[in-house]
Amino acid sequence: MRQRSLIAITAALAAGALTLTACGSRDSGDKGSDSGNGGGTTVVIGVDAPLTGDLSALGLGIKNSADLAAKQANKKSYVKGVTFKIEALDDQAQPSSGQSNASKFVSEKEVLGVVGPLNSSVAQSMQKVFDDAKLVEVSPANTNPALTQGDNWQTSKARPYKSYFRTATTDAIQGPFAAQYVYNKAKRTKVFVIDDKKTYGAGLAATFTDEFKKLGGKVVGTEHINPDTKDFSAVATKVKNSGAQVVYYGGEYPQAGPLSKQIKAAGAKIPLVGGDGIYADDFIKLGGASAKGDLATSVGAPVETLPSAKEFVANYKAGGYSEAYGAYGGYSYDSTWSIIEAVKKVVDDNGGKLPSDARAKITEAMQNVSFDGVTGKVSFDEYGDATNKQLTVYSVENGAWKAVESGTYNGS
């Protein structure tokens, strides 16, 4: 156990945070247009995300950013003889819908890679479908460690599916990173831990709790909520009576915002802290004025602060998308571009055309993909996890998310 801070601070954070709110929605079967490069072969990259419903603010940003990557590849004629198109399907954040979408993508022979999903629970329902078909999947947002390292990842890591990759770092890092900030920097030693019982939320809460205890912190209460309800008055009262100095919530913003508001209304004037699932402008809208001082961790550094992201931000704006790119925009672009890089490798190795076993070859090529992306260096380790482990803490200030500190979790 280490009692001192293990967070390596990066330099010069910009004061502004990402604008995450996305308005409206588009049809679930939306196919992005391409710029055309005169190629004779069309490669479809599937996108699976919640395009409608509570989490559409994040899902639409994923879809749009993938669309932008395909358009940029076509504009540059990046893979000679190949035109890329996006086909986006709506999973509504439901595992059953994700599984149906996976089967649809597999049935379409021109689909040679899939970007998504947003939710780890949805990914669990899709992985085997894709793996059986040797169809590569790259998620910009999944953070549950079991997806790449197996259910027993804490004791014996074993990669369950070779076709699954992700550009976002995992909760094995994000939870402890948050715990170190809360304990060492925010100086909060008593926490009340709440989760929504879903794959992402429960897993994130567990990794936070383990690290917080190692650091010497005390968990003064735990609770599981029903994500389908909006009345959290009972748990808010428990938080107030527990003497907690902070609440850690494992879950997503549709529940986190009202939960934060009701905890404060109950008399517990303490911050709520969560992961990337609450890092959205909609959290602030739902939490109201009482959200001030609440904290969230999210993957990577703020996109606007990265020199590598300037072109992405400019091109996204020029693209005229009606929704913001959101928390996972840069990662979605990089996930899509990693598939494009793998396609290029396979085409180049096969005399300038796609082989008959293109899906298997692309999945194999993905393991060695490496390039300088929007979010920094993009490459994958032996489990399919991103080698980029950077995270950022954000705080709600003046009605917006403000970046507080970026760094990497070094382990303990």
DSSP for 201-213 reads: HHHHHHHHHHHHH
Give the mean model confidence (pLDDT) for residues 161-181. Answer: 96
Residue 79: is its pLDDT beyond 70?
yes
Burial of 269 (0-12, 13-18, 19+ CB in 10 A): exposed
Strands 218-224 and 111-115: unpaired
In a domain, 50, yes or no: yes
pLDDT value of residue 154: 87
Same domain as 162, residue 24: yes
Number of structural domains the chain divides into? 2
Q: CB burial class (10 A; 0-12, 13-18, 19+) of residue 94?
A: middle
Residue 402 lies in a domain: no
pLDDT averaged over every residue in the chain: 90
Q: Are residues 34 and 176 in the same domain?
A: no
Q: Which residue has the higher pLDDT, 225 or 35?
A: 225
Q: Are 137 and 114 in contact (CB under 8 A)?
A: yes
Using the CB atoms, write b or e for 200-222: b if 16+ within 10 Å: bbbbbbbbbbbbbebbebebbbe
Residue 406 lies in a domain: no
pLDDT surpassing 80 at residue 4: no
Residue 283 lies in a domain: yes
Bridging pattern class, strands 400-409 and 7-9? antiparallel
Judgement on whether residues 275 and 343 belong to the same structural domain of the protein: no
Inside any domain, residue 231: yes
Residue 21 has pLDDT above 80, yes or no: no
**What are the residue ranges of helices labelled H in 266-300?**
281-287
Taking the C-alpha atoms of residue 219 and residue 151, their distance in angstroms, rounded to an integer, is: 25
Domain housing 58:
19-169+303-388
394 part of a folded domain: no
Together in a domain, 193 and 341: no
Question: In terms of domains, do 261 and 193 share one?
Answer: yes
Q: Looking at the predicted structure, is the pLDDT value of residue 391 above 70?
A: yes
Peptide bond into 95 cis (omega under 30): no
